[in-house]
Amino acid sequence: MAKTKKPANDSASEPPSLFDNMDMFASVPTSTVAGNGEAEETESVSQTPAHTLHGGSGPLRELMNENFLQFASYTICNRAIPTVEDGLKPVQRRIMHSIWEKDDGRFIKVANVVGHTMQYHPHGDASIGDAIVNLTNKRYLIEGQGNYGNIYTGDPAAATRYIECRLTELARNELFNPKLTSYIPSYDGRNQEPILLPSKLPLLLMLGAEGIAVGLSTTILPHNFIELLKAQILIIQGKNPRKLYPDFQTGGVIDVKDYADGVGKIKIRAVIEKRQHNKLVITALPNGRTTESLINDIEEAIKRKKVPVREISDFTAEKVEIELTLATGATQDQAEQALFAFTACETTISSRPVLLCKNRPAEMTVSEILKINTAQLLDIFKRELELRLGELDDLFHSKTLEQIFIENRIYKRIEEQTTYEAVQKAVLDGFKPFRKLLRRDVNLDDVEGLLQIKIRKISRFDINKNREEIDGIVKEEKETKHSLKYLNDHAIAYLNKLIEKYKKVYPRLTKVNDDAFEEIEVRELTATELTLKIDRENGYIGTEIRGGEELFKCSSLDKILMVWEDGHFKMMPPPDKFFVDKNCLYMKLYDREKEFTAIYTEPSYGFTYIKRFAFGGLIQNKEYRLAPEKSKLLLLEEGTPDSVYVKYKPAKSQRIHQQEFTPSEVICKGVSAKGIQMTSKDISRITTKKPSWWDDSEKSPKGQLT
C-alpha cells in the first residue's frame, strides 16, 4: 500500500503556542530511540547556553539542562497531552493502530492486543491494558466483550486474558486510511507506526482528556457526539454554531454559569428523585464519582449530622439507584439541599484545554478545536477524492488496455517474436491504431501487465461486461469530480448521514440547567442542627453532653465566643465537650462586627476602666485578652447601654457614693485597645439598668469619660 508523507492536518491554521515566548522549549530536540537504546536526534537544534550557580558553564549543568529538556519534551509530546488532529494520546493511538492491524471483524483477546501494542509502546503492559479498558468504556472506538468493570460502581475490569475487544464500526470506517497516513519507525526501529491517524471525527472533544506533564496540565471535558457533528455542519456553512456544553456518561445536571467555551468550571449535580414521603433516590452520578465513593461521602456527612438520612440502600446494576431513607421529621426538600451542600452530590469540575497542535503545546477553546477538526475533515475528503480520481483513472486505463488487447487480438502478434524486446515492441505497435481510445500513452509497465494475463482469462473474456465496468468507472469519476467541486456539500452530506445513523445510539445524557443552580444557604440549612448545652455543676459545655441545661441552637459552621471573668477570651467551633469552669461570663455565637461594652478593674492600682469595642477577626482556638492579666471583668454587655450605674464601697472621707456614666461618650476601638479610666474608687455594685439601691435624693456628679 502506498504511503504518503503529507500530514493529515495541513489545512488547519496553526494556533499560538503556549511556549511561543519561552526559550526553554525552543531547543528541545525531537528524538527517537535506536535499537541499541540510545537517543538519536532527528533534526538539528540549537542548544540553550547553560550556566553554573557561580555564573560559569560546566558539563554537569549542561547535562542536567539537556536531560531535563528532553524529559519535559518527551512527557508533553509523547505521553500526557493529546493531539488536536486525531484527539489521541500516543498510547491510545498505538492501541487503535494495533487493533486495526489485527482486525478481521471478530473479537480479539485484550492480552493479544496488549502484546501487539508493546511493539510500538515502550512502557509496561499494565498501562496499555488500562488504556484499552478506558477507551472501551467510552464506547466510541472499541467494543468490548467480557467484564470491563462498571463506570457507576467503580468495579475494576477483569484481567486482560479474560476480556476481548474489537473496533467499533464507527472507528473502522472513520479513523483509518493507510494511503493518507504518515509513518515513522517505532521506538526499536523494527516497525512503522502512524504519526497521526487521519480521523474524520472530532475525537478530542468526543472523548475528553486529562493529563499532567512537566509545567502544564490539561483537562478537556467530553462533549456530545451528535451536537459536535451539528456544530461542524454550521461551521462548514459559515455560520456560528450554538454553544457546546459537556456531556458525561454518568449523566447528572450541570450549571454552566462559569463555563466559557471550554474554559472555566462547571458545577455538576446528581439527579435525585423524590419517592413516597420519606425517600430520595439518586439515579445519576456527578462525573468522576462512583456509587461506592458517593455512599461513603454521604455516610461521613451522616456521622457529622449534616444530612438527615437514617438508611442507605444501593440497588445499582445497569443503572444507578441509591435509595436514601430520611430521618424522622426531615423533609425531602431539606434532605436534598443538605446532600448538595455537604456531600459529593454536587461537585465542581475545572476545564482548561491544553493540547498538541502540529506537535506544539497550545491552549484553545472548544470552538477553536472544532474549527481545526472541521478544516481537517475537509482536507481529508479532498485528498481522498483526489486519490480516488487517480485510482479510477488508472483503472480506466487498465480496463481499456485489456479490452483493446483482447478484442483486437494484439496478443497474437507476440507468437512470431523471438526476443522479449521484440515482444514488447509488437505490443506497443499493436496499440498505435487505437491511441485515441486511451487517455495516455502505453508504456512498458502497461505492456508487462498485459503480458501477465492468463490464457484462461483471454478465452473467457466478456467484452460487454468489461464495457459495463468501464462505463461504471466513468460514472464514478463524474460523481467524484462533482464531490470534489462541491466539497462542502459532500462533507455536510457525510455528517448528516452520521447524525442519522448514530443519533439514537449517542443521545445527550447530561442535562444542562437553563438557569444557574439556586444558591444553597448552608448556614440557614444547618442553623439548628446542633444544640449547645452546659453542665454547670462540672463546668463543661458541648453538643454531646447528656442532660445539662440547653443554651442555644447552632450550626457546625458557627463559631462560639467565650469570655472569662479575668478578661481572656477564645473563639472556637461548637465543641463536643469543653471545660470552661464556672468563671465564664459570656458564651454566645461569634459575630466579628458586633459591638460590646466592657468595664474592668486592673490589678496594679485597682483603677476601673471602660471600653467599647468589636472583637473583629480572630483565629479559632487561640486565646486573647481584652484586659490586662489578673484583671477582673465587672461588666460585659452587647451594644452600648444608655447608662451605667455605679455604687462605690464606703471609704473614709468619701463624699461621692454613687455615680451615673454614659458609655456612648467612649469611642469604639479594637478589642486590644486600653479602656478609658472611669474611677479610682472601689466599686461594690454596677449595672446598666436603674437599680433599687440607687438613691435619687443623693445629688451625685455625672461621671466623666473623656
pTM here?
0.75
- Assess if residue 445 is contained within a domain: yes
- Assess if residue 470 is contained within a domain: yes
- Assess if residue 351 is contained within a domain: no
CATH number assigned to the domain comprising residue 116: 3.90.199.10
- Assess if residue 651 is contained within a domain: yes
CATH number assigned to the domain comprising residue 387: 1.10.268.10
When comparing pLDDT for 638 and 522, which is higher? 638
The pLDDT of residue 58 is 75
| 326 and 388 both lie in a single domain | no
Into how many domains does the chain fold? Answer: 4
Could you tell me if 700 and 657 are in contact, meaning their C-beta atoms sit under 8 angstroms apart?
yes
| 497 and 532 both lie in a single domain | no
The pLDDT of residue 514 is 75
Residue 29 φ then ψ, to 5°: -80, 150
Q: Looking at 324, 344, 364, which one is the last position of a domain?
A: 344
| 408 and 478 both lie in a single domain | yes
C-alpha distance across the termini of the chain, in Å: 101
- Clarify whether 162 is annotated catalytic: yes
- Assess if residue 230 is contained within a domain: no
- Assess if residue 297 is contained within a domain: yes
Q: Residues 35-50: pLDDT tens digits?
A: 333 333 333 333 444 4
Average pLDDT of the residues in 58-77: 70
| 340 and 401 both lie in a single domain | no
Output the DSSP codes for 607-638: -EEEEEEE--S--TT-EEESS-TT-EEEEEEE
| 647 and 683 both lie in a single domain | yes
| 200 and 319 both lie in a single domain | no
- Assess if residue 536 is contained within a domain: yes
Could you tell me if 241 and 380 are in contact, meaning their C-beta atoms sit under 8 angstroms apart?
no
Identify the domain containing residue 550 by its residue range.
Answer: 527-687
Average pLDDT of the residues in 4-24: 40
| 48 and 152 both lie in a single domain | yes
Q: Which residues, 6 or more positions from 349, have their beta carbon under 8 angstroms from its beta carbon? A: 219, 221, 265, 266, 268, 287, 288
**Which residues are paired to 612 by β-bridges?**
597, 668
Q: Which DSSP category does 410 fall into?
A: G
- Assess if residue 241 is contained within a domain: no
| 276 and 209 both lie in a single domain | no
| 383 and 322 both lie in a single domain | no
Range name among 136-145, 156-165, 351-360 with the lowest pLDDT average? 351-360
Q: How far apart are CA 41 and CA 31, in angstroms?
A: 5
Output the DSSP codes for 655-680: ---EEEE-GGGSPEEETTS--EEEES
Q: How many helices (H) and strands (E) does the chain have?
A: 16, 36
Residue 14 has pLDDT above 60, yes or no: no
Could you tell me if 187 and 120 are in contact, meaning their C-beta atoms sit under 8 angstroms apart?
yes
The single residue of 74, 148, 152, 162 carrying the catalytic annotation is: 162
When comparing pLDDT for 458 and 508, which is higher? 508
| 29 and 134 both lie in a single domain | yes
Q: How far apart are CA 215 and CA 205, in angstroms?
A: 23
Q: How many Cβ atoms are within 10 Å of 22's Cβ, its own excluded?
A: 11
Could you tell me if 160 and 114 are in contact, meaning their C-beta atoms sit under 8 angstroms apart?
yes
Confidence of residue 81 (pLDDT cuts 50, 70, 90): confident
